[in-house]
Amino acid sequence: MSQEIRSDVVIVGAGFAGLHMLHQLRGLGFSARVIEAASDVGGVWYWNRYPGARCDVESLQYSYSFCSDLEQSWNWTEKYAAQPEILRYIEHVASRFDLRREITFNTRVLSAIFNDRLSEWCLQTDSGLTFRSQYCVMATGALSVPRLPDLPGIENFEGPIYHTGAWPREGVDLRGKRVGVIGTGSSGIQAIPVIARQAKKVSVFQRTANFVIPAHNGPLEDEAQVAWKSNYADHRARAKEVGTLYEFSAKSALATPTAERVAEYERRWQKGGVNFVHAFNDLMIDKAANDTISDFVRHKIRQIVKNPVVADSLCPTDHPLGTKRICVDTGYFETFNRDNVELVDLKKTPVRELSGNAVVTTQKAHEIDLLVCATGYDALTGAVLNIDIQGLQGQTLKEKWAQGPRTYLGLMTQAFPNLFFITGAGSPSVLVNMIVGIEHHVAWICDALQYLKAQGFNCMEASKDAENNWVEHVNQAANKTLLPLANSWFLGANIPGKPRVFMPYVAKIGLYRKECQNIADQGYQGFKLSTS
Ligand code: FAD
Ligand code: N01
């Protein structure tokens, strides 16, 4: 017999977003229930156990800010924490705030259907459990639907295939193995140097070369940690304005003399991290300015990689730096100087098929024992569209978003009342420190639910006009930058048939927060509030 669980709010996903949403709602007296496909908390950090996985926003910033005692008592060991440490942190949060008792694990949501008459959401799951609630929050993650490459013959490959975003919990023994890695985005770039130290041989199959900046990761010294913590409130307040505390320059690259400009690139290269791309204020809006930083990185690649042919293949030439998510590494380019690593440039020798235990290119058969796919995600919309979501009069989200996602503020979509997205398309989301974005969305949703309750409403829906204006605004913001120039997952370009729409909202998080706050202050302008 199928069982039904009722709560005021149902939350899908138990990553950083879902856990925080649950904790905050509980504090406000709403009953809430979380549904999670994995066997425990963690989201991205539960699934991405590949060698080398770590964050590239400094750990002291890539963490929750909602509890001062938590941020003071938790000690990070490295500047950029590795996956096991981040997962331990999330598990600690779940235990400390006793969150697991309201989470149903090992359960995937298949459908979410709005009942117009009762004004409630009904979620069906693969375990047969049914969840009913007034409000539904999709905390399903922007990067949670791994995508395997559609290579001819992949189903016939005799060895195991592992996606970085679904890495086995028990790990993979790579010792003595010939490993193929396909994909050279952030995941591949983190994994390849570590795999190369473990495996007998690594063949890296690269379709598009990427810009990569050194992380200069290392232990987080006690002194630095104590100093940061003594000022945590100030740091967090600034992060609410800028996302991550980088050194943002107010100078133009093109207006700066060449020697000074190169010195600034060199200084930031030596410092490491994503801070590099904020060296000048015109890099992301002016192609000529961007060429100067792109040339600098290509020059570095040629200095590091000894074989000039390999170096040439590793130099990105088809997109301006930063228009694909910038990658941060530890020894990526150096890895190609190792005897046990070969680069297979798929632009020169495309894959014909996978056959037996080989990746066969137009040049030769590369024999491997196992294949690692660091081939990315159906980003931003993948996880929500995997669920059969039906709003007013049975309208499906798939139909509504057939030409690309349409939201108001990234938080709601018209005709789907009481359904909220955390870090959804149309919000800054993946363009900023995501924990800052998550905490903002959780706070905004909590305020909205409290407002509804206080005013005697129980139904909230984005209006068509507000949504149309917002979508237009998001498109305009992207088109003022170089970002739409790359074939990136920001645009859905990595998924065949996905509409080419720039999904995140290109804006300083501080400005976006103000826009959201103003709308709330005006009684949730652009939203229809009602009593069912
Ligand atoms: P997730 O962590 O993706 O959690 C979503 C959860 O929802 C998952 O556990 C999933 O199983 C569950 N779920 C989805 N659909 C269903 C369903 N139908 N039914 C049940 N459960 C479902 N961001 C940064 O800002 N800085 C970084 O340094 C950084 N590093 C990253 C490194 C990696 C390897 C990856 C992949 C991403 C990184 N990110 C980083 C982005 C990352 O997505 C966010 O920082 C953050 O972890 C997202 O949390 P979330 O809770 O929104 O989503
Ligand atoms: O995925 P990606 P990812 N044949 O989509 C290649 C976050 N993250 O998992 O560019 C051959 O970036 C594809 O090639 P191309 C971060 O936001 C953060 O690496 O399409 N190649 C590309 O090289 C990041 O941006 C960290 O030509 C194929 C690669 O696979 C996001 O997650 C670490 C192919 C996919 O790169 C996703 O990163 C990890 C095919 N058929 C992840 N299909 C941090 O460090 C795909 N590719 C914070």
What would the pLDDT profile of 20-33 be if each residue is shown by its tens digit?
A: 999 999 999 999 99
Mean pLDDT estimate for the chain: 97
Instruction: State residue 532's pLDDT score.
Output: 80
Residue 374 Cα, ligand 2 centroid: separation in angstroms? 6
Residue-wise pLDDT tens digits, 81-123 = 999 999 999 999 999 999 999 999 999 999 999 999 999 999 9
Are 230 and 210 in contact by the 8 Å Cβ rule? The answer is: no
Same-domain pairing of 65 and 173: no
User: Burial, 179: exposed, middle or buried (Cβ in 10 Å; 0-12, 13-18, 19+)?
Assistant: buried
Same-domain pairing of 334 and 400: no
Instruction: State residue 422's pLDDT score.
Output: 98
Same-domain pairing of 123 and 178: no
| pLDDT, mean of residues 443-463 | 98
Same-domain pairing of 492 and 402: yes
Same-domain pairing of 103 and 18: yes
**Residue 305 tokens, joined:** 């990689």
Ligand 2 site, residue 329, Cβ cutoff 6 A: no
Cα 31 from Cα 125, distance rounded (Å): 20
Same-domain pairing of 205 and 345: yes
Closest CA to 10 of 141, 132, 104: 132
Residue-wise pLDDT tens digits, 120-164 = 999 999 999 999 999 999 999 999 999 999 999 999 999 999 999
Same-domain pairing of 340 and 476: no
Closest CA to 436 of 165, 84, 62, 162: 62
Same-domain pairing of 129 and 12: yes
Q: CA angle, 150 as apex, 108 and 501 as ends, to 5°? A: 75
| pLDDT, mean of residues 194-211 | 98
- pLDDT tier, 511 (very low <50, low <70, confident <90, very high otherwise): very high
Same-domain pairing of 31 and 122: yes
Same-domain pairing of 443 and 515: yes
**Residue 476 tokens, joined:** 């305009």
Range of the domain at 436: 4-145+378-530
Atom from ligand 1 closest to the CA of residue 432: 25
Same-domain pairing of 340 and 415: no
Buried b (16+ CB within 10 A) or exposed e, 33-52: bbbbbbebbbbbbbbbbbbb
- Look at residue 1 and tell me whether its pLDDT is greater than 70: no
Residue 491 Cα, ligand 2 centroid: separation in angstroms? 13
Instruction: State residue 46's pLDDT score.
Output: 98
Give residue 317's identity as a one-letter amino acid code: T
Ligand 1 site, residue 62, Cβ cutoff 6 A: yes
**Residue 322 tokens, joined:** 């930063």
Domain count, the chain: 2
- Look at residue 2 and tell me whether its pLDDT is greater than 90: no
For residue 479, give the 3-state DSSP assignment.
Answer: helix
H-type helices in 120-201, by residue range? Answer: 186-198
Residue 186 Cα, ligand 2 centroid: separation in angstroms? 6
Same-domain pairing of 365 and 506: no
Residue 313 pairs with which residues in a beta bridge?
A: none
Are 147 and 182 in contact by the 8 Å Cβ rule? The answer is: no
Cα 433 from Cα 242, distance rounded (Å): 9
Residue 165 Cα, ligand 1 centroid: separation in angstroms? 10
Only one residue has tokens 């859905």, namely 492
Give residue 187's identity as a one-letter amino acid code: S
Are 153 and 31 in contact by the 8 Å Cβ rule? The answer is: no
Residue 18 included in any domain: yes
